[in-house]
A and B are shown apart, each in its own frame.
Chain A
Amino acid sequence: MRKFWIPLSLGAIVLMGTTACEKDDDSDKDNQNNVIAPATYTFERDGSSTVSYSGQTERLAMGGELSSAFKNTTKSETDLMHMYANEDASGNNVDPFSDPALNASSKSLRSKTAASFAYFSSNASESAAIKEDFENWITLQVNEVFPAWSQAAAAGVPGQIADGSSARYVNAQGLEYDQAFLKSLMGACIADQMLNNYLDEGVLDGGNNREENDNGTTVDGKSYTNMEHKWDEAYGYLFGGAANGADPLATLGNDDAFLNKYLGRVNGDADFAGIAEEIYNALKLGRAAIVAKNYTVRDQQADIVRAKISEMLAIRAVYYLQAGKNAINNGNMGTAFHDLSEGYGFIYSLRFTHNPETGNPYFSATEVSGFLGSLMAGGANGFWDLTPATIDQISNTIAGRFNFTVAQAAN
């Protein structure tokens, strides 16, 4: 196999070279407008950094703590709800996290779930329904799965099931609620905020952002303009967990359990090698374009990020579906259920993708709920009854809307 990759990467170089040729006109124009991306994501004004995304870093860390809590049977439903919302049901302050910095934070995951400007600012009903999905998964984890923690799962019975040498904890349909919750959150909160909020023209140019940015007017007490900050917040949802946020590709895949982790996985597949750099470069150039007041270049880069992050989520959805299928074929149901639970969340996330050509998600809410219905085999036993044919059908439909094949995603 090794021999196969060498010529393939040569092919990639030729392709890249070609792309560079085709883009010559654009880059000439960029150069005329002085938009040159810096070597790293480093931007300064009068000697101070203008880059800030601490709120994103905090939310990623909240997701990490919530992930552990989903498997801690000493936690109550209220504990988990508080971690999700970082406040109680009446909106009072709570301290649900082990990290005091997170307790002190005013941020929360729940308030930013299905909350993007582009998709939800005038779609409160769907936003509320999506938040309810997340709260339901918490409720069901605590009330259905926690009590079944020390029993074996079977069709229609929640409990634990072996995945290799580890135990997975599933509901009566074989679904792991923690995977459903966390992987869906990657779409409904992280990607939605990144692609459909902070990279959206409506947000970048909101208020007097454009005029302020043109005049170099910074936010009171800060070194950045509003528009610069919005862009950084998008950046933070992908790279906010990196120890070195300015140069984050060195630790790609190890910096959170969300977009960064899975971009690392996809980038590690030879079929998609380079996708991370492409996204990083677009984020750098777009930010430089804001500094250069070139909003055309800015929006072109936003579109690259939107398309590529969306593609990454779809690739990973298909990857887990196919992994689940292979495990079913080998009779490893616990392994299959874990993969399918991850896949469930990645599919849920597709509704929050962003196709730059249409301004809409690659898959509508209706299509996504159709996939999820098929995935649960439309019955009381869910994954236990799922057939490889159904898995292939969903996989083909997802891959078919992008420029990758099921086989490329699956390996």
Chain B
Amino acid sequence: MLNVKQLTIWVTLLVGVTFSCTPDDQPGSQPDNFDRKAMLSHWADDFIIPGYENYHQKLLNLKASAQDFVSSPTVASHTKLYADFTEAYHAWQWVSKFDIGPAERIGLHHFTNIYPADTTGIENAVQSQNYNLKLPSTFVQQGFPALDYLLAGKGNAQATAALFNSNSSYGDYLLNLVTRQQMLTKEVLDEWKNTYRNAFVENDGSSATASVNKMANDYVFHHEKELRAGKIGIPAGVFSGSTLPHTIEAFYSDTLAKSLFLESLEAHRKFFAGEGFEGNPSGNSFKAYLDYLGVQKDGKNLSDKILDQFEVARISAEGLPDNFADAVTNQRQDMLGTYDELQKNVVMLKVDMLQALNVKVDYVDADGD
């Protein structure tokens, strides 16, 4: 039998082993001389602000065609409106992950893209014409998921035009949603341009609230929760055991979800690699930072492994059926395969990258109740 002293020795030994097991090559534990400010400037000037400019322009287009459709609901005006809706939805994928500064403060993401939509709540709001879109309970009654329902969930273009003709409450609600979305985005864009850009770039330290730390968390969070879980894992039933086809993004548009997924994946890849938004200059981003620190994994640059994995995930997703509802129902294994490829990058980004950058994860999995 072990006595207490022997036990203490044992435990001490084991603890010793434990510590010697932990990687001691964490470069982030010492301050490095990587130019964080240049990285923040690149993010703000070449990616985030142009991304919001583009998204806001698409919302202005959407608003104009919504006004045309509501004043004259026809198949033609619906077609134009729906095209502008899909363009804006794609543009959103480029800025969705920047839940920081003004976007975080006003809850832009929550008011823009929480799905599935609450269609009962939307119908009640339309019929009663009594609603307050600022309330958290209406997150699921506005934004793109609600537009998707109103434009694609009420039948084909002809049926939808007929509905909007016969009941003006739908048009009122649609215009309220689109206008609100555009105004909220304008507020975020203006603040980025006027004041927040400099505050963001100047906050170049390494504390938990520094811009690099917050952005790294936002990026990793979005990759894990939105790209991996929201767009693929939840509908494929990874967390529920059975498939949940109604939870796919843009549920009422047959093939939009896949295209939005690929857009978001590309937005993640480009941001990581340091490419600029649509022709804007390249600069330093996570890849450059990891390379500067010389971070290796399995004998290769971690940054290259992450970029390779983005490509593997893209190829996996390209192979899925264009209609994600079909994919979930008929090719669940393939969808789970895509999920697994995304998960590999979750590990490399959330564990390997954040550890190397000495950034502490600032979110926990919600407790679910």
Contact = CB atoms under 8 A, between A and B. Distances in A.
Contacts of B23: 3
Interface on chain A toward B: helix, strand, loop, or mixed SS? Answer: helix
B325 to A, nearest CB: 22
Contacts of A163: 136
A4 B364 CA distance: 19
B7 A14 contact: yes
Contact of B369 (A7, A151, A164, A257): A257
A206 interface: no
Contacts of B180: none
B366 A164 contact: yes
15 contacts: A4-B21, A7-B15, A14-B7, A14-B11, A18-B1, A21-B1, A22-B1, A150-B135, A152-B135, A162-B136, A162-B139, A165-B139, A168-B136, A261-B369, A265-B367
A8 interface: yes
A21 B6 CA distance: 13
B208 to A, nearest CB: 9
Contacts of A6: 21
Closest 6 CB pairs of A and B: A167-B136, A162-B136, A7-B18, A167-B137, A21-B1, A11-B14
Interface residues on A, range: 20 to 34
B22 interface: yes
Interface in B336-369: 351, 362, 364, 366-367, 369
Interface residues on B, range: 20 to 34
A166 to B, nearest CB: 7
B114 interface: yes
A286 interface: no
A409 to B, nearest CB: 14
A330 B7 CA distance: 42
Contacts of B134: 152
Interface in B1-45: 1-2, 7, 10-11, 14-15, 17-18, 21-23
A160 interface: yes
Contacts of B15: 7, 11
A5 to B, nearest CB: 9
A39 interface: no
Given A18-B2, A265-B367, A165 B114 contact: yes
A406 to B, nearest CB: 16
A334 interface: yes
B18 A150 contact: no
Nearest to A411: B364
Contact of A7 (B17, B107, B367): B17
A18 B136 contact: no
B90 to A, nearest CB: 21
A166 B136 contact: yes
Nearest to B362: A330
Interface in A120-168: 150-152, 160-168
B132 interface: yes
Nearest to B366: A164
Contacts of A4: 18, 21-22
B2 A21 contact: yes
B246 interface: no
A10 interface: yes
B110 interface: yes
